[in-house]
Amino acid sequence: MKIELRTIDDTNKDDVVLLEVWDAQKEFIAANQVSLETARSEEYREIARPFAIYADDKPVGFTMFAFELDSNDPNDRYWLWRFMIDKKLQGNGYGSAALEKIIDYFKSHGADHILLSTKETNTVALSLYHKYRFAETGEMNEGEIVLRLSL
């Protein structure tokens, strides 16, 4: 399986917006349309990096990073903000393969760590993050636990 992170543009935006998680997972992640609007907002357009996740030239998911390089806190610069695989494609290894690509992206763009936050009840995602050595920091972010991966 060939996984790629592709820039979102007019040719694939509609495909990305149509990707969604199961109803029971919607409490854990914003809809892709909302995330794309956030990425284009004046407040976040300089730090948000949204990508479509492709497997063998087919869109299977969405991810968005925050690279806040001007942050005064060097430990708060690199965030995995969004990460989802379409509900019809979950359980086929796309999440693991995509997370490997995401980690590689952060490494190749100078990050020395990745932060993310999720609800404690998001056990499927937490299991995946733990598999890749993300560890709880003991901090909370808007009611979600924060995890960190040192690169």
pLDDT, residue 70, reads: 77
All structural domains of the chain, each given as residue ranges with its CATH number in brackets, are 3-150 (3.40.630.30)
Per-residue pLDDT of the chain (151 residues; tens, 9 = 90+): 899 999 999 999 999 999 999 999 999 999 999 999 999 999 999 999 999 999 999 999 999 999 987 777 777 789 999 999 999 999 999 999 999 999 999 999 999 999 999 999 999 999 999 999 999 999 999 999 999 999 9
pLDDT for 72: 75
> What whole-number distance in Å separates Cα of residue 80 and Cα of residue 99?
10
pTM of the full predicted structure? 0.94
pLDDT at 15: 97
- Give the burial class of 48: count Cβ atoms within 10 A of its Cβ; 0-12 exposed, 13-18 middle, 19 or more buried: buried
> What's the pLDDT at 132?
97
